[in-house]
Chain A
Amino acid sequence: MSEEQDRIKKVSIVCSKGSLEGIYPALIMANGARMEGIEASIFFTFFGLYAVLKKFNNKIKIATVGNPAMRVPDAKGMSLPTILGAIPGMSAFATSMMSKEMEKLDIPPIPEFLEMIHDAGGHLYACKATVDMFHLTTDDFCDEVERVLTVGEFYELSAGAQIIFT
Chain B
Amino acid sequence: MATREIAGTTVEVNDEGYLTNPDQWNEEIAKVIAREEGIGELTEGHWKVVKFLRDDFKEKGVMPTIRRVKNAGGIPTKDLYELFPEGPLKKSSKVAGLQKPASCI
Residues of A bordering B, CB below 8 Å: 28, 31-32, 34-37, 105-108, 112, 115-116, 119-121
Contacts and interface: CB of A to CB of B under 8 A. Distances in A.
Contacts of A35: 66, 87-90, 104
Instruction: Sort A-B residue pairs by CB-CB distance and give the 10 closest, nearest first.
Output: A37-B86, A119-B77, A119-B78, A106-B65, A37-B87, A106-B67, A32-B104, A116-B77, A106-B105, A120-B81
8 contacts: A28-B104, A107-B105, A108-B67, A112-B67, A116-B70, A116-B77, A119-B81, A120-B88
B40 interface: no
A17 B69 CA distance: 30
Contact of B66 (A36, A116, A121): A116
A107 B105 CA distance: 6
A36 B87 contact: yes
A35 B67 CA distance: 12
Contacts of B86: 37
B94 to A, nearest CB: 14
A114 to B, nearest CB: 12
Contacts of B70: 116
Given A106-B67, A116-B66, A119-B77, A37 B105 contact: no
